[in-house]
Chains A and B, each alone.
Chain A
Amino acid sequence: MEEFRKKLQKKAIAAAIICLLAPTILITLQIITKRDVDTFGSAIYGAFGGVMTVAVFNLVRMLSAIKSEEKLKRLYIAEKDERNILIGKQTCTASLLIVVTGIAFAALIASYFNITVSLTLGAVVLFIALVLLGVRIYYNKTM
């Protein structure tokens, strides 16, 4: 459990740095560029705000777990629970398949309208396939 606490402390420090650095960079860029915040910009800021809220919530959860033995145990169980881990793996596999299929279809449809978009999407599919192949080879050799 002490090892998990140390790991959690490192994670909390990393999360705190990101929580501080990300809005600082965004605000600095906004001040420097003086870009007009149009509808698209507002949507981006909104999404960023949402992500930051979740990140801060997670940070608070980690910090409270570091201080409380009971909460630390609960978090440890939730993170190490084999069913949760399996669900995470299955979710990643299914999501990847859906995303790649979606992009491949989009590339096919885009080829009728805009060849540049189609080639870009095709390159994305190829890149994902190469990464997948590389990771698969790695795990085949290490397991």
Chain B
Amino acid sequence: MKNRIQELRKSRKVTQQELADALSVTRQTIISLENGKYNASLTLAHKAAQFFGVTIEELFIFEGEENL
């Protein structure tokens, strides 16, 4: 699943550590999310969407058949 976390984070001049602190996760999780190596849970997706002030659908792009 693709996401716009890096794009939104950079546009708002937020560092990975600041975002990690705001979402109560490690910086490594943010890096993995931005690289598309890790899919966020519903809770984290909700928190991230709230942080950026967008909907989950705007932040995460579901691309059809994926491992669920």
| Chain A positions within 8 Å of B29 at CB level | 81-84
For the residues of A in contact with B, the DSSP-based class is helix
Interface residues on B, range: 10 to 19
Give the A interface residue count (CB, 8 A): 9
CB of B48, distance to nearest CB on chain A (Å):
12
With beta carbons under 8 angstroms apart, the residue of B25, B38, B40 that contacts A77 is B25
- Choose among B21, B24, B28 the residue that contacts A83 (Cβ–Cβ < 8 A): B28
Measured between beta carbons, the chain A residues less than 8 angstroms from B24 are: 76-77, 80-81
How many A-B contacts at CB < 8 Å in the complex?
27
Enumerate chain B residues within 8 angstroms of A83, measured Cβ to Cβ: 25-26, 28-29, 32, 38
CA distance A113 to B28 in the complex (A): 49
Residues of chain A contacted by B28 (CB below 8 angstroms): 83
Least Cβ distance of A61 to chain B in Å?
Answer: 16
The reply on B67 being an interface residue by CB < 8 A is no
* In the complex, chain A residues whose CB is within 8 Å of the CB of B21: 77
A78 at the interface (CB under 8 A from B): yes
Nearest chain-A residue to B38 (Cβ)? A83
In the assembled complex, B14 has its CB within 8 A of some CB on chain A: no
Residues of A near B41 (CB, < 8 A) are 82
Closest to A78 in B: B26
Closest beta carbon of chain A to B41's beta carbon, Å = 5
Contact of A84 among B26, B40, B43 (CB under 8 A): B26
Binding site for A on B (CB under 8 A): 20-21, 24-26, 28-29, 32, 38, 40-41, 43-44
